[in-house]
């Protein structure tokens, strides 16, 4: 009714503004990372009055700002450099071994990519009508009141019918070596070094550790990876892990110490001194480096978010949700790295963001957690979806295995990227694909075929009898599937 008070009267203007402020949002999303910004955009597209709160001042979360995107930029740039030094000559390209790297320029190109993508999301917010608040959010009242502390110093209180928590995660530090992002670094610091370290030690041989170790190793650093488990990236299929580490040792001279734990460490001037011990408590040694990357995992980030509202969390600090992303508090939902479901991956969070927005709009949202791919963007890359052979053995599932090596693939042979293989795991009785694992320079792109096959419940025969273009790397998937239900042609 306040809309009838029109004209230049200041009181009427104030009343109109008050009316708009009293109108609650349909959805307020706390966190503007891959899960949060996607949830906000999809909710707005479905007609919901939507707001998103992000404290970083740039949308995209860890992934776009200090994770997936900048790391891929550095991996690409350093691969070009390394390729020039190691591979150009065999193609008749002379002088590659004299190519030099301007690290600040490399960082500028990385930052350009990041800025372009983050500003692009802000444009999408405007295009779709998402109200964007730059600041930190804290749940209050019954959970659907959100107190916003603006980065500009202004405080606001938002009322909403529903709230989606999408605050993501942060790197886990060592208790005896806190991050300073100069000598003792998380992935954030390792993405922003302005010079090549002489010796980079990486604690944790997972995705982040191997990727960032690869970046700086290609530029000349001695890289030593210290991994507590018997294998690096123990979540990988065993054959895939072995193939990757073998390639990194051979091609990039990476040193890997498995079944080893770091028991102490100190920063001494320009160096970091680490005390190592065998996992079983045996052999001890000291390791010195001028740069240390700690990549032992990530933990959910909820600082200041839930101090006034009792949302149930597990012992590790993850927000507990049900199959509809609902938390223990009515009308409060959660997605992404902060929840106790699924892998901590950007694309998983994005799918959850779409699904929760659809549910809030009265539609049916769904995420298939059995068909979420993973990728390590080293050279070669490793990509996977579904079960590993070790998991199937442990579960007592009877399965068949089909393998095909890229050394027998015509496209791989032609462009000399023959490292790796495709491995397909199927149910022995039904031939349904249970898992696919790829080691190859283009594994991250190739794995989509396996994900699609699993999403639709395909058998290896379905894929093996599908025509694939020749010559392509994807033919290796066809042949590996043929090896499951029959026999491959080129092996």
Question: What are the tens digits of pLDDT across the range 254-300?
Answer: 999 999 999 999 999 999 999 999 998 888 999 999 999 999 999 99
- Give residue 19's pLDDT: 37
Question: What are the tens digits of pLDDT across the range 384-412?
Answer: 999 999 999 999 999 999 999 999 999 99
- Give residue 12's pLDDT: 41
Average model confidence (pLDDT) across the chain: 95
Question: What are the tens digits of pLDDT across the range 409-442?
Answer: 999 999 999 999 999 999 999 999 999 999 999 9
- Give residue 364's pLDDT: 95
d(CA 276, CA 225) in angstroms, rounded, equals 12
Comparing 4 with 129, the larger pLDDT belongs to 129
Question: What are the tens digits of pLDDT across the range 237-250?
Answer: 999 999 999 999 99
Q: Is the pLDDT of residue 18 over 70?
A: no
Task: Given the residues 76, 324, 437, 470, select the one marked as catalytic.
Answer: 470
Q: Is the pLDDT of residue 309 over 50?
A: yes
Q: Is the pLDDT of residue 478 over 50?
A: yes
Q: Is the pLDDT of residue 102 over 90?
A: yes
The burial class, CB within 10 Å (0-12 / 13-18 / 19+), for 30 is buried
Helices 68-86 and 103-128: crossing angle in degrees, nearest 10, is: 140
Q: Is the pLDDT of residue 481 over 80?
A: yes
Q: Do the beta carbons of residue 243 and residue 293 sit within 8 Å?
A: no
Q: Is the pLDDT of residue 48 over 70?
A: yes
Indicate if 470 belongs to the active site: yes
Range with the poorest average pLDDT among 5-19, 34-48, 108-122: 5-19
What pTM was estimated for this model as a whole?
0.94
Percent of the chain scoring above 70 in pLDDT? 96
Question: What are the tens digits of pLDDT across the range 330-362?
Answer: 999 999 999 999 999 999 999 999 999 999 999
The burial class, CB within 10 Å (0-12 / 13-18 / 19+), for 76 is middle
Q: Is the pLDDT of residue 488 over 50?
A: yes
In which band, very low, low, confident or very high, does the pLDDT at 22 lie, cut at 50, 70 and 90? low
């Amino acid at each position: 009714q306040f809309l009838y008070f029109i004209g230049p009267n200041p009181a009427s203007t104030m009343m109109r503004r008050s009316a708009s402020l009293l109108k609650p949002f349909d959805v307020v999303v706390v966190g503007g990372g891959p899960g949060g910004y996607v949830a906000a955009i999809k909710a707005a597209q479905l007609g919901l009055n939507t707001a998103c709160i992000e404290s970083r001042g740039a949308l995209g979360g860890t992934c776009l700002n200090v994770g997936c995107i900048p790391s891929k930029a550095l991996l690409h740039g350093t691969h070009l450099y390394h390729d020039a030094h190691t591979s150009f000559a065999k193609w008749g390209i002379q002088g590659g071994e004299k190519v030099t790297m301007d690290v600040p320029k490399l960082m500028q190109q990385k930052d350009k990519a990041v800025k372009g993508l983050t500003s692009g999301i802000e444009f999408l917010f405007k295009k779709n009508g998402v109200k964007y608040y730059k600041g930190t959010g804290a749940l209050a009242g019954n959970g659907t009141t959100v107190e916003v502390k603006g980065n500009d110093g202004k405080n606001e209180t938002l009322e909403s019918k529903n709230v989606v928590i999408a605050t993501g995660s942060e790197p886990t530090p060592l208790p005896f070596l806190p991050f300073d992002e100069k000598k003792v670094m998380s992935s954030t610091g390792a993405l922003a070094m302005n010079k090549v370290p002489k010796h980079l030690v990486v604690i944790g041989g997972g995705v982040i550790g191997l990727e960032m170790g690869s970046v700086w190793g290609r530029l000349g650093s001695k890289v030593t990876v210290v991994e507590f488990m018997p294998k690096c990236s123990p979540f990988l299929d065993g054959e895939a892990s072995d193939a990757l580490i073998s390639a990194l040792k051979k091609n990039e001279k990476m040193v890997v110490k498995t079944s080893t734990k770091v028991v102490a460490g100190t920063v001494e001037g320009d160096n970091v001194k680490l005390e190592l011990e065998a996992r079983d408590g045996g052999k001890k040694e000291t390791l010195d480096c001028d740069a240390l990357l700690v990549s032992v995992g990530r933990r959910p980030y909820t600082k200041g978010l839930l101090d006034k509202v009792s949302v149930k969390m597990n012992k590790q600090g993850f927000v507990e949700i049900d199959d509809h992303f609902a938390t223990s508090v009515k009308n409060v939902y959660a997605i992404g790295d902060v929840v106790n479901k699924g892998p901590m991956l950007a694309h998983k969070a994005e799918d959850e963001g779409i699904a929760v927005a659809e549910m809030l709009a009265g539609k049916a949202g769904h995420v298939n957690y059995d068909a979420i791919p993973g990728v390590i963007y080293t050279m070669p890359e490793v990509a996977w979806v579904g079960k590993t052979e070790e998991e199937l053995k442990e579960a007592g599932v009877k399965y068949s295995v089909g393998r095909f090596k890229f050394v027998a693939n015509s496209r791989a042979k032609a462009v000399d990227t023959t490292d790796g293989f495709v491995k397909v795991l199927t149910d022995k009785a039904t031939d349904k694909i249970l898992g696919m694992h790829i080691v190859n320079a283009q594994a991250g792109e190739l794995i989509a075929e396996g994900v699609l096959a699993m999403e639709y419940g395909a058998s290896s025969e379905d894929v093996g009898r599908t025509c694939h273009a020749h010559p392509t790397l994807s033919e290796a998937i066809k042949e590996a599937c043929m090896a499951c239900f029959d026999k491959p042609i080129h092996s």
